[in-house]
């Protein structure tokens, strides 16, 4: 039997090249070898206020992005989190196993709650429990995510192990799959910060739906570090980041990239990076436009049904072992 993967993204903001290179690209690469479940986590999205109409639209738009990136509904199951009520049911059970202290250590809560726990929503605090529930319901072996989700994944593992110890072997303990290159693509405006959907400065991110002019302008304006050579160098985060994007989009090895840009300067490099990005985005954006809402519903409904059969099995054994 094939091993299982589960991953998801939130239908908020605009997806950027960091989401693609850190996560989606690997979802696509892994779907042959694994039985894959890719979820649109709309219940995670409401941990911050969302406009209902926009949320509904963005949920479908995100399904389009999964498909355009190459997630194949013949091989992988794509579904919307709120269509499978077992996610919230298991989240309650896990919240009775989780400890306040372990949630208080989650750095994403500290970031998104802006350090003000008194005013932050309770859902934002318990968000990692819902994420653990997503993963554990499918007896997931592997979870392909970017670096920023590593801590949440460790919590999922801890909860699975604690449950298994207390109530008998019930959950597979999931492993993270965090790529060596691309796990944390940085902002083009500040290479110390990750590229983020919620960044106020849109120039820091290349969005997957940006037009060629916008992409080229953003790359030309990207900050650079001191030094003129175009090579991977730990002490120069800006060029490292830009070269990583180039490397992953072109499929070249690190050595090939360095060789390719030997003797060239930033002007040439940025032009080539802009070209490679536009060449990648053009067919991607064409594919996004191929799926109308009806086609999406035809994928998402059966996806949720398939997901439910597995999720309800797992929840059934959880309830049984707890005496519920
Ligand atoms: P989100 O849309 O925020 O739910 O994120 C979806 C996926 O993209 C998660 O696996 C994140 O870890 C990943 N991701 C988000 N930002 C970045 C980034 N700057 N670099 C690499 N991966 C990222
Ligand atoms: N928390 C993840 C993020 O913000 C999204 C997510 C929710 C997820 N549930 C998941 C990722 C399960 C992997 C597995 O990016």
Instruction: Give residues (CB < 6 A) around ligand 1.
Output: 9-10, 18-19, 22-23, 145-146, 148-149, 183-185, 194-195, 197
pLDDT value, residue 288: 96
Architecture field, domain 4-178+292-322: 3-Layer(aba) Sandwich (3.40)
Architecture field, domain 202-287: Orthogonal Bundle (1.10)
192: confidence class by pLDDT, cuts 50, 70, 90: very high
For 44-68, what is the mean pLDDT?
97
Would 4-178+292-322 and 202-287 be classified into the same CATH topology? no
Query: Does pLDDT of 310 surpass 80?
Result: yes
Query: Does pLDDT of 80 surpass 90?
Result: yes
CB 15 within 8 A of CB 29: no
Torsion angle of alpha carbons 181, 186, 192, 193, nearest 10°?
-130
1: confidence class by pLDDT, cuts 50, 70, 90: confident
DSSP, collapsed to helix, strand or coil, labels residue 253 as: coil
Q: How is the beta sheet containing 142-144 ordered, strand by strand?
A: 77-80, 35-40, 4-9, 142-144, 175-177
pLDDT value, residue 261: 95
Ligand 2 atom at minimum distance from 152 CA: 1
Measure the CA–CA gap between 185 and 298, rounded to whole angstroms: 33
Residue 315: φ, ψ to 5°? -60, -40
Measure the CA–CA gap between 67 and 288, rounded to whole angstroms: 7
Whether residue 264 lies in the annotated active site: no
Spans of all domains in the chain: 4-178+292-322, 202-287
Q: What is the DSSP string of 109-170?
A: HHHHTTT-TTTS-HHHHHHHHHHHHHHHHTT-SEEE--GGGHHHHHHHHHHHHHHHHHH-S-
- Weakest mean pLDDT among 111-115, 136-140, 203-207, 217-221: 111-115
For 205-209, what is the mean pLDDT?
97
Q: Whose CA is nearest to atom 8 of ligand 1?
A: 19
Q: Whose CA is nearest to atom 6 of ligand 2?
A: 8
């Amino acid at each position: 039997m094939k091993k299982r993967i589960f991953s998801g993204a939130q239908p908020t903001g605009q997806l950027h090249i960091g989401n693609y290179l850190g996560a989606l690209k690997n979802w696509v690469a892994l779907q042959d070898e694994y039985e894959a479940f890719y979820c649109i986590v709309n219940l995670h999205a409401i941990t911050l206020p969302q406009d209902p109409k926009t949320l509904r639209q963005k949920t479908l738009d995100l399904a389009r992005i999964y498909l355009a990136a190459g997630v194949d509904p013949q091989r992988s199951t794509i579904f919307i989190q709120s269509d499978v009520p077992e996610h919230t049911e298991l989240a309650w059970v896990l919240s009775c196993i989780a400890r306040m202290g372990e949630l208080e250590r989650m750095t994403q809560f500290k970031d998104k709650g802006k350090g003000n726990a008194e005013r932050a929503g309770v859902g934002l605090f318990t968000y990692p429990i819902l994420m653990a529930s997503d993963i554990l319901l499918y007896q997931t072996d592997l979870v392909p995510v970017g670096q920023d989700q590593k801590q949440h994944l460790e919590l999922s593992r801890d909860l699975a192990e604690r449950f298994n110890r207390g109530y008998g072997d019930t959950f597979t303990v999931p492993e993270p799959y965090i790529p060596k290159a691309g796990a944390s693509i940085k902002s083009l405006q500040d290479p110390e910060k990750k590229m983020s959907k919620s960044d106020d400065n849109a120039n820091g991110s290349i969005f997957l739906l940006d037009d060629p002019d916008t992409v080229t302008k953003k790359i030309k304006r990207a900050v650079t570090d001191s030094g003129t050579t175009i090579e991977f160098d730990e002490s120069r985060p800006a060029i490292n980041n830009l070269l990583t994007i180039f490397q992953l989009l072109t499929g070249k090895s690190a050595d090939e990239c360095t060789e390719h840009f030997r003797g060239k300067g930033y002007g040439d490099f940025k032009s080539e990076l802009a070209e490679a990005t536009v060449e990648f985005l053009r067919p991607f954006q064409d594919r996004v436009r191929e799926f109308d809402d009806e086609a999406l519903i035809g994928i998402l409904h059966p996806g949720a049904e398939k997901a439910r059969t597995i999720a309800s099995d797992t929840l059934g054994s959880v309830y049984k072992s707890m005496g519920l």
